[in-house]
Structures are given as C-alpha cells and as structure tokens.
C-alpha cells in the first residue's frame, strides 16, 4: 500500500504546480501557501482528514521560535525520518528562526525534487540543492508507513 500512497501523493502534488502563492489559501489553480498545500495534497491522497491549521501570520517565523510547522506534522502522526527521503515524504526547511517552509518530495534520493509553494513564485518544483532551498537546514518527515 505504501508504494500506491507515495505515487498518489506525488501525482497530486504535481497537479498543484503553477498555482499562485496566496497566504492561508488552499484552492488548486487559484492560491495556496506552503502549509496549506501539504494539508490539501495529503487530504486528497486520503492520508489525513481535512485539517484546520488555524490562524498564523505570514511572517511568524521571523519573530517567534515556536515550531508551528513541526507541530502540525506531529498532530497528523508524521514522524521524522533519517536518510534520503522517498516520493511522498515531506521536507521542512528553516527560514527565519524555525522550520517554517515545507514541500512535498516527488522524486526521492540524495538530492530530492520537491513541489512547494513559495512567496512571489507560486507552486514551483525545485531540487533541494537549488535556490531557494539550497544550503538551508532541512528535516524530512513521513506520514506514510
């Protein structure tokens, strides 16, 4: 089942590419942010229920040290993984004071390919070794058993 789940997550993530960035939005093709895209993709793949992430400021990561993002992952039962991620896993990068930017791994390996919503660019595809993720502290998490 996990291979099918991983394929479903990756396929759903690819479908969001090109969606404009919009803080706190979750509508494919119209607007999404880096937290809401995770909630939408994993819900569509049948791995989590519809999640209410609550209210959060667009720049909370610049002024606070609270690990909101990691808390959301723990809330749905995600676990931190070591080593190279696989398709369907989640990358979380440190921006500002905490881990505050997430993306969906669509091609695993030592330099994974990630679909993520980025301010000013919308939903893009990038390798971890490329801008804007390059050189940032990263953690990988998985919801898939």
The ranges assigned to domains in the chain are 2-142
What pLDDT shows up at residue 62?
63
Q: Which CATH architecture has domain 2-142?
A: Alpha-Beta Complex (3.90)
Going by the DSSP 8-state scheme, the letter that residue 51 receives in this structure is P
- Looking up tokens 């660019």, which residue turns up? 121
Give the integer Cα–Cα distance in Å for 113 and 110.
Answer: 10
Q: Tell me: the pLDDT tens digits for 84-114?
A: 999 999 999 998 889 989 999 999 999 999 9
Q: Tell me: the pLDDT tens digits for 3-15?
A: 999 999 999 999 9
């Amino acid at each position: 089942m996990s291979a099918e789940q991983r394929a479903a997550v990756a396929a759903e993530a690819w479908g969001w590419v090109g969606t404009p960035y919009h803080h706190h939005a979750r509508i494919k093709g119209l607007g999404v942010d880096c937290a809401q895209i995770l909630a939408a993709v994993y819900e569509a793949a049948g791995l989590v229920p519809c999640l209410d992430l609550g209210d959060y400021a667009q720049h909370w990561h610049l002024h606070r040290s609270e690990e909101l993002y990691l808390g959301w992952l723990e809330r749905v039962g995600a676990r931190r993984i070591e080593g190279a991620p696989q398709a369907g896993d989640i990358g979380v990068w440190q921006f500002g004071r905490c881990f505050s930017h997430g993306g969906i791994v669509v091609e695993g390996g030592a330099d994974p390919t990630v679909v993520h919503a980025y301010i000013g660019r919308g939903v893009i595809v990038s390798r971890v070794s490329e801008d804007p993720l390059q050189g940032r502290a990263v953690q990988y998490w998985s919801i898939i058993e």
